[in-house]
Amino acid sequence: MFLARLGQTGYIRSLRKVPSRIRRNLSEHPIYAYLAVLGPGMIAANAGNDASGIATYSSVGAAFGYTMLWAFIPMTISLIIVQEMCVRMGVVTGQGLADLIREQFGVRWTALIMIAILIANTGVIISEFVGISQAAELLGVSRYIAIPPAAALVWWLVVRGTQKRVETVFLAMSLVFLTYVISAFLSKPNWSEVASGFVNPTISTDPFYLFALVALIGTTITPFMQVYVQSAVVEKGLDREDLSLARADVVVGTIFSIIIAICIVISTAATLHVAGITRIDSAVTAAAALAPVAGRFATYLFAIGLLGAAMLAMGVLPLATAYSLSEALGFEKGVSRSFREAPIFLGIFTTLLVVGSVVALIPGIPQIQLLLFTQCINGLLLPVLLFAILRLANNREIMGAYRNHWALNVIAYAVALTVSVLSILLIGKTIADMF
């Protein structure tokens, strides 16, 4: 019934050009209409499950078992709310997030936010390349063999491809996360304890527990996801008739990505936590530690998932950065554009890939320190971005009848305040750890 109602709301503009026979089939089978709109929400949510995210989920499972699974319920609701506002703004205004920030808040605020996004995303992009190298080495492939082809493949896909092809490949990359679902079942968890972890919230005043909880929530909602999803919706050409389907994409994408995160926690809880291995400092450490507990096959599945996650994030992060900087500076943008049409957009994308791959090839790069630094930048940026999104989504001039209603605002502001407080706590703990 839900999809049937969505199917009556309209389709993307490109579908209106197809023969009437096909349009009739789409109206009779609304699932096809959803599949046509599928993309931005699914890709953005899954890109959040990057190498650092997998490391966080692994750490939570190893350290606390199933006791923090309850946190995924409010996290799911929070991510859906934030992503939906960005998708709605993109559909209604036809502008990316950086475009709207520049127009509504001025050049100074835009410049500050864009500098923070550039610094934070560059650091995370480097960490994704490091994640690729570590996953490849777990699979028996040298980083010097794995990183250059991976960077070249993503560059060729975006620079030489079309919006539809890029989106299709990114969606295909998302399927590699299913390896974590298999890993969860291979780990043979106690499913009654898993269920209890969801319905019986466990709160501890232990500093490490609180830090893990903050990191868990902070990993789920990140600035680049909001930038990417809104720009991708605009480039896909969705209009107001497609809004219900675009919202469905956000919901399905978020639920899929959260299920993957849950499976990572379950895998490490059922193996590492039970075996007394409670401290994990990276996703690759978690994958290696699975071998004596769950066997080499589980380790390879975990490593393949890490490789796919890093590849997806390695594509989405430079794109999100290129979108935001191009929008803020007023330059032409889009993955369907050529270098001649959008030299700044594709130049930024190319530069970020080159920098990320070169730095990741440097022996002994301090990955943990790099992640801590970028985590601080993202922690500072996220509250600013969330409240900017809320102001824009409530702006009667640009959103009209599509602005937030009061009930959504109550929940959205509660989410923004909670995430902001947690981000500040996470920054404080990170700085304390540095010194």
Q: Residue 26 domain-assigned?
A: no
The CA distance from 83 to 18, in Å, is 30
Residue 359 has which token pair? 């730095």
Q: Crossing angle, helix 367-393 and helix 223-236, to 10 degrees?
A: 60
State residue 121's pLDDT score. 82
How high is the pLDDT of residue 12? 41
How far apart are alpha carbons 381 and 307 in whole angstroms?
Answer: 27
Answer whether residue 386 is part of any domain.
yes
Q: What one-character DSSP code corresponds to residue 94?
A: -
Q: 3-state class of 363 per DSSP?
A: coil
Domain count, the chain: 1
- Domain span including residue 364: 38-434
Assess contact for 176 and 132: CB atoms under 8 A: no
Please report whether residue 1 resides in a domain: no
How confident is the prediction along the chain (435 residues), in pLDDT tens digits per residue?
433 444 444 444 444 444 333 344 444 455 544 444 456 777 777 777 777 778 788 888 888 889 999 999 988 998 899 999 999 999 999 888 888 988 888 888 888 888 888 887 888 888 888 888 878 877 788 888 888 998 898 888 888 777 677 777 777 777 778 888 888 888 888 899 999 999 888 877 777 777 777 777 767 778 888 888 888 888 887 778 888 888 888 888 899 889 999 998 998 888 888 877 777 766 666 666 666 555 666 677 777 877 888 888 888 888 888 888 888 888 888 777 777 888 888 899 899 999 988 988 887 766 556 665 666 677 677 788 888 899 999 999 998 889 999 888 999 899 888 877 877 776 676 677 666
Question: Is 247 within the bounds of a domain?
Answer: yes
What does the alpha-carbon distance between residue 291 and residue 296 come to, in Å, rounded to a whole number?
Answer: 5
Q: What is the pLDDT of residue 266?
A: 92
In this prediction, residue 20 carries a pLDDT of 39
Instruction: Classify residue 428: in a domain, yes or no.
Output: yes
Q: Give yes or no for a contact between 263 and 184, defined as CB atoms under 8 angstroms apart.
A: yes
Asked if residue 167 is part of any domain, the answer here is yes
Where residue 108 sits, what CATH number does that domain have?
Answer: 1.20.1740.10
3-state SS of 105-147 is HCHHHHHHHHHHHHHHHHHHHHHHHHHHHHHHHHCCCCHHHHH
- Distance CA(171)–CA(242), nearest Å, equals 19
Phi, psi of 75 (to 5 degrees): -65, -40
Determine the distance from the C-alpha atom of residue 410 to the mean position of all C-alpha atoms in its chain, rounded to a whole number: 24
Predicted confidence at residue 239, as pLDDT, reads 79
389 part of a folded domain:
yes
What Å distances lie between residue 1 and 4, 7, 29, 201, 229, CA to CA? 5, 10, 12, 33, 26
For residue 192, the model assigns a pLDDT of 92
311, part of any domain:
yes
Q: What is the pLDDT of residue 30?
A: 52
What's the angle, vertex CA 223, arms to CA 220 and CA 225, rounded to 5?
70
Contact 340, 176 (CB under 8 A): no
